[in-house]
């Protein structure tokens, strides 16, 4: 019951904040989004220095005004399983309102400067773009 009350309170409070939910982040049916998830494989995967430099670089992207949320990550310490790919070094997860927002990001000078300055660190990139349903 206590949990329910807390949720109800937060659901009301969230009306102030552009559709944030009781859980603080939008659930999939509240607002459509374009989700852009990029995985980077470093040329020197054992270099903590290169990894940290790339993390620093990815974080510069948050200045781009069409990005609604950005999460920068490294492989989590979850149990190894055949289906889990933990071979990448750094990941960026971006939320946009729509395809236009993603397009603005791709062409943005901050994004181009990122690729220019940090692009020599990685040997492979895989991108997944999804639209919420």
Pairing type for strands 90-96 and 34-42 reads antiparallel
- Indicate which single residue of 44, 120, 123, 129 sits in contact with its own copies (rule: CB under 8 A): 129
Among 45, 75, 104, 110, binds its own copies (CB under 8 A): 75
> Out of 1, 4, 48, 76, which residue is the one contacting its own copies (CB under 8 A)?
76
Q: Does 18 bind its own copies (CB under 8 A)?
A: yes
Q: Quick check: 115 binds its own copies (CB under 8 A)? A: no
CA dihedral 105, 87, 120, 109 (to 10 degrees): 10
Q: Which of 5, 48, 77, 107 binds its own copies (CB under 8 A)?
A: 77
**Interacting residue with its own copies among 8, 63, 84, 115 (CB under 8 A):** 84
Q: What are phi and psi of 94, to 5 degrees?
A: -120, 145
Question: Site residues (CB under 8 A) for its own copies?
Answer: 10, 13-14, 16-21, 23-28, 33-37, 39, 55, 59, 62, 67-78, 81, 83-86, 88, 91, 93, 95, 99, 102-103, 125-133
């Amino acid at each position: 019951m206590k949990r329910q009350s807390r949720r109800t309170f937060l659901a009301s409070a969230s009306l102030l904040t552009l559709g944030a939910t009781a859980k603080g982040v939008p659930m999939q049916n509240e607002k459509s989004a374009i989700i852009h998830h990029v995985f980077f494989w470093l040329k020197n995967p054992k270099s903590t220095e290169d990894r940290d430099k790339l993390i620093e670089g990815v974080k510069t992207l948050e200045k781009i005004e069409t990005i609604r949320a950005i999460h920068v990550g490294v492989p989590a310490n979850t149990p190894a399983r055949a289906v889990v790919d933990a071979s990448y070094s750094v990941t960026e997860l971006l939320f946009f309102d729509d395809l236009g927002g993603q397009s603005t990001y791709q062409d943005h000078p901050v994004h181009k400067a990122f690729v220019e300055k940090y692009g020599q660190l990685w040997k492979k990139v895989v991108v997944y773009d999804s639209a919420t349903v």
